[in-house]
């Protein structure tokens, strides 16, 4: 066997592949790591929750199960309630749809104008 | 009928998944559970710094430094931490040494537990239901699909990772690499060889 000329530090592409296929996958991964570091849930509770989601829908893309697990565990730990989450999904949807393409989507632009307004101020 | 802005072609649209992620993140940030800069830092770390080149360094050191290899066998967490690679979830690391009589292979049947500090995040196949189900039931068949054929008499041991226990396979050092430097050796340690679905020195 002949010795390779480059060290792995010099040719990282050989050993690494992109860990995330889309930015949102990276976001949910990092949120989970931070919440665990904050002590919101133990890593073993996390793997149980994720394992249950993977088991329930084996054909679902991996990070979609990860997201579903994160929604469940934050709800179970009373960090984010379901109504709160659903209202916020609506708000982001309205914000996106009222934002011209190419401009940053801001949550303020998703405030309701046709009904009771949702309070976005920090708790 | 009023004009429906929702169908306006020049406005933005977020996919249902992106909406859910943004919703969760914005609430967590508002409530002070996460700091957006810290979230970005984690992503940056896993995308650029942490990867199998770290595990390759551990393996190459184990091949060239018997005292380090011995330390790895006794207390892999500490030996690996001495190189600056520490876990975030307080997990224990175990180093599994392959020998001419034993081949080790790692899986997580529950989800995708993986030794992040030394290998980065797992490849897609490691997280897939078929690998998780079949690695335990028919390891030799799975290995063959990875192009690894082991001699008849060689034992295959499959290790199921958990939240608390993460495994790093120390592959056998290929013949003909006597006198190589640690750096040269690290370059032939593939990621798959450290999961046990490959052998060192073989292309992945």
Q: Is-catalytic flag, B112?
A: yes
- pTM of the predicted protein model: 0.83
**Cα dist from B190 to A53, A62, B200, whole Å:** 31, 24, 6
Q: If you average pLDDT over residues B74-91, what whole number do you get?
A: 89
Tokens for B74, please give them. Answer: 């006794």
Determine whether the interchain pair B23/A89 forms a contact, defined as Cβ–Cβ distance below 8 Å: yes
8 A C-beta contact, residue A35 and residue B28: yes
Among candidates B90, B120, B164 on the partner chain, residue whose Cβ is nearest the Cβ of A16: B120
Q: What is the pLDDT of residue A6?
A: 42
8 A C-beta contact, residue B120 and residue A19: yes
Q: What is the pLDDT of residue A11?
A: 39
Q: Is-catalytic flag, B77?
A: no
Residue A118 CA, chain-centre distance (Å), reads 22
Q: What is the pLDDT of residue B147?
A: 94
Mean pLDDT score across all residues of chain A: 82
Q: What is the pLDDT of residue A107?
A: 86
Q: If you average pLDDT over residues A84-96, what whole number do you get?
A: 94
The CATH superfamily assigned to B51-195 is: Nitrile hydratase alpha /Thiocyanate hydrolase gamma (3.90.330.10)
Q: Is-catalytic flag, B113?
A: yes
Distance from the B98 Cα atom to the nearest Cα atom in chain A, whole angstroms: 20
pLDDT (tens digit, 9 = 90+) per residue, B135-162? 999 999 999 999 999 998 999 999 999 9
Percent of chain B with pLDDT over 90: 83
Q: Which residue of B has its CA nearest to A57?
A: B129
Q: What is the pLDDT of residue A4?
A: 60
**Cα dist from B119 to A4, A87, B17, B116, B138, whole Å:** 21, 39, 28, 5, 24
What is the SS3 assignment for chain A? CCCCCCCCCCCHHHCCCCCCCCHHHHHHHHHHHHHHHCCCCCHHHHHHHHHHHHHHCCCCCHHHHHHHHHHHHHHHCCCCCHHHHHHHHHHHHHHHHCCECCCCCCHHHHCCCCCCCCCCCCC
Residue numbers in B near A42 (CB within 8 A): 163
pLDDT (tens digit, 9 = 90+) per residue, B105-115? 999 999 889 99
Q: Which residue of A has its CA nearest to B202?
A: A1
pLDDT of B21 strictly over 70: yes
Determine whether the interchain pair B53/A16 forms a contact, defined as Cβ–Cβ distance below 8 Å: yes
pLDDT (tens digit, 9 = 90+) per residue, A6-36? 443 433 344 446 788 899 999 999 999 999 9
The segment(s) of chain B belonging to CATH 3.90.330.10 are 51-195
Determine whether the interchain pair B23/A85 forms a contact, defined as Cβ–Cβ distance below 8 Å: yes
Q: What is the DSSP annotation of B58-70?
A: HHHHHHH-HHHHH
């Amino acid at each position: 066997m002949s010795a390779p000329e480059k060290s792995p530090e010099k040719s990282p592409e050989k050993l690494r592949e992109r860990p995330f296929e889309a930015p949102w996958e990276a976001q949910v991964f990092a949120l989970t790591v931070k919440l665990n570091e904050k002590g919101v849930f133990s890593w073993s509770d996390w793997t149980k929750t994720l394992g249950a989601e993977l088991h329930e829908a084996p054909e679902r893309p991996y990070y979609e199960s990860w997201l579903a697990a994160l929604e469940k565990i934050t709800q179970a730990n009373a960090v984010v309630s379901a109504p709160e989450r659903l209202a916020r999904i609506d708000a982001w949807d309205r914000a996106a749809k009222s934002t011209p393409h190419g401009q940053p989507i801001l949550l303020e632009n998703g405030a309701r104008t046709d009904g009771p307004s949702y309070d976005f101020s920090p708790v | 009928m009023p004009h429906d802005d929702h169908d306006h072609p020049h406005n933005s649209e977020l996919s249902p998944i992106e909406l859910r992620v943004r919703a969760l993140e914005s609430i967590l940030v508002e409530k002070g559970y996460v700091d957006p800069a810290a979230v970005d830092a984690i992503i940056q770390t896993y995308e650029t710094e942490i990867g199998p080149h770290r595990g390759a360094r551990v393996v190459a050191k184990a091949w060239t430094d018997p005292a380090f290899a011995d330390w790895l066998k006794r207390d892999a967490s500490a030996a690996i931490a001495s190189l600056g690679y520490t876990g975030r979830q307080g997990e224990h690391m175990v180093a599994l040494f392959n020998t001419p009589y034993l081949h080790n292979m790692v899986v997580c049947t529950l989800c995708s537990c993986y030794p992040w500090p030394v290998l980065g995040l797992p490849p897609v196949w490691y997280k897939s239901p078929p690998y998780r189900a079949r690695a335990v039931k028919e390891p030799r068949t799975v290995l063959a699909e990875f192009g690894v054929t082991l001699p008849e008499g060689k034992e295959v041991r499959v290790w199921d990772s958990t939240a608390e226990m993460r495994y790093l396979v120390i592959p056998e050092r290929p013949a003909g690499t006597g006198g190589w430097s640690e750096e040269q050796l690290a370059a032939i340690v593939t990621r798959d060889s450290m999961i046990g679905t490959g052998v060192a020195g073989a292309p992945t």
